[in-house]
Structure 1
Amino acid sequence: MGRLGELEPVPRRSTVEIVSDELRSAIMYGALEPGAQLGEAELAARLGISRGPLREAMQRLVQEGLLVSEPHRGLFVITLDQGDVEDVYLTRLAIERAACQLIMQRNRGEAVARLTEALEALIGAARERDRVKMSDADQAFHEVLVSSSGSPRLERMAATLLVETRMCLNALQETYPEPSELVEEHRRLVDAIGDGEEERLLQLIEEHMTDSIRRLRAS
């Protein structure tokens, strides 16, 4: 970054980056359902682009594990079986547990301020009883939690699970906790950080993840 107030070039996003984001979002929210086959001609027409950037974007998603290539058949959106889902949440637990430990060692006040704002967004979604908004706010809260650790590596690791986690949350809609219960779960996490109770915080984050696994098994 240059001196304060100095103008600098604005980063330009390539077509491939934009298309990659579009495809991730479509997978994340279920517009491209698990197991769906991706047809190049149809997608290129819908996105208004040539097949070259589309192919490159799809290959990025193959590398990220969101698409799978089947010989002589084409590209398909991944499906998550019970083992995959459990692995996603156990990996999240490892990341978020480490993030919680770092938060307790660093600036808890800043973390509480940021998480309180994220909690307010969750409260608003819960008040509307909008399941999609609740899922978005739930995920955003945990993104802030990891970000508040101050570890860019933990943040990058968590980002790789972003779409898979949202796919899991889509599956959780029918077994999602009551809005008030969901809010209280997250409020307890913020309170534990504010009170400086690390052992309680780690116990709460583990219970949060294992409960998600339990509900996904039930669904």
Structure 2
Amino acid sequence: MESSLTPIPRDSTPSIIARRLRDAVAKGEFRPGQQLTEASLAASFGVSRGPLREAMQRLTQEGLLVSHRNRGLFVMELDEPTIRDIYLARAAVERTAVRQAVALGAGEEAEALIAVVEEMRAYEDRPSHPDVSALDMRFHEQLVALSRSPRLILMHGTLLTQVRLCLAWMQQTYDSVQYRVTEHADIARAIVAGDADLADRLLCAHMDDGLRRVLAAVGELSG
């Protein structure tokens, strides 16, 4: 697996460093609960500690990193209460976004969601490929964008870093990509058809299934 921790240009901003760190955590290069040290990260990225600290502070504000007094910074733990809370917040944002999208008559724009689903089909023989989870994320980002609500989009964006960590665990629970394709396609078609109630029921079922899968994957590891 190619590492995300390669040297970056000296004039890069802390936002680039933060993005690299997010990707590294999502790809499993850092495990939940693992401590991150400034010295080793600064050496890996080829940067000074100033911009690195700013980047790590951003990730702490996002909840991806947790600061323990006199101990340092650690990747957030994925225990059951945390996972359930992530999905609770995610469902609240996405369900509201779906209803708003239908109310705005965004059915034609929602056709773009079906295009994302079609990209998923290309991974029929590789259901655990990281690109499938990346497409899953893109689907839900576009779904929330249909609401045209800057605040919903901002709230969802804040959650996405933690959701990505959940998806990294969930992807190993699928033995076929078809299930994910069907779930997402049905949600997209309901939005295109302007059926808010059906879209909401399908989204809730999708979230419930995802929550069960993440809990099972994390529980298996800890067990």
For structure 1, list consecutive stretches of 5 or more residues without a partner in the other structure: 1-12
Q: Deviations over 1:156-185 (max 9, x none)?
A: 111011111111111113323621111011
- The number of residues matched between the two structures is 207
Q: 1:75-114 alignment to 2 at 5 Å?
A: 75-114=73-112
Letter of the 1:134 partner, please give it: V
2:13 to 12, 15, 20: 15
Q: Separation in 1 of the partners of 2:107 and 2:201?
A: 20
Q: 1:123-138 alignment to 2 at 5 Å?
A: 123-126=121-124, 128-138=126-136
Alignment correspondent of 2:40? 42
Q: Is the 8 A contact 1:126 1:134 kept in 2?
A: no
Q: Secondary structure at the match of 1:153?
A: helix
Compute the displacement of 1:111 (Å).
Answer: 2.7
Q: Separation in 1 of the partners of 2:97 and 2:142?
A: 10
In the alignment, structure 1 residue 73 sits paired with structure 2 residue 71 = yes
Letter of the 2:157 partner, please give it: A
2:141 to 140, 143, 147: 143
The 10-residue stretch of structure 1 (169-178 or 71-80) with the greater mean CA deviation from structure 2? 169-178
Q: Separation in 2 of the partners of 1:59 and 1:122?
A: 34
Q: Separation in 2 of the partners of 1:112 and 1:177?
A: 28
Identity level (%): 43
Compute the displacement of 1:128 (Å).
Answer: 4.3
Q: Is the 8 A contact 2:190 2:198 kept in 1?
A: yes
Q: Is the 8 A contact 2:107 2:193 kept in 1?
A: no
Q: Is the 8 A contact 1:125 1:137 kept in 2?
A: no
The alignment's TM-score, normalised by the length of structure 1, stands at 0.88
The 10-residue stretch of structure 1 (200-209 or 173-182) with the greater mean CA deviation from structure 2? 173-182
Compute the displacement of 1:103 (Å).
Answer: 1.1
CA 1:153 to 1:125, structure 2 compared with 1: closer, same or farther past 3 Å? farther
In the alignment, structure 1 residue 161 sits paired with structure 2 residue 145 = no
Q: Secondary structure at the match of 1:110?
A: coil
Q: Secondary structure at the match of 1:31?
A: coil
CA 1:178 to 1:148, structure 2 compared with 1: closer, same or farther past 3 Å? same
Compute the displacement of 1:89 (Å).
Answer: 1.1
1:182 to 180, 183, 201: 180
Q: Separation in 1 of the partners of 2:12 and 2:18?
A: 10
Compute the displacement of 1:195 (Å).
Answer: 2.2
Q: Deviations over 1:52-71 (max 9, x none)?
A: 11112111211221111222
Q: Is the 8 A contact 1:126 1:183 kept in 2?
A: no
Q: Secondary structure at the match of 1:84?
A: helix
For structure 2, list consecutive stretches of 5 or more residues without a partner in the other structure: 1-10, 218-223
Kindly report the root-mean-square deviation, in angstroms, between the aligned alpha carbons of the 2 structures. Answer: 1.7
Q: Is the 8 A contact 1:28 1:167 kept in 2?
A: yes
Q: Secondary structure at the match of 1:150?
A: coil
1:63 to 48, 61, 67: 61
Compute the displacement of 1:14 (Å).
Answer: 5.5
Compute the displacement of 1:124 (Å).
Answer: 2.1
2:200 to 183, 187, 202: 202
Letter of the 2:51 partner, please give it: P
Q: Separation in 2 of the partners of 1:62 and 1:179?
A: 33
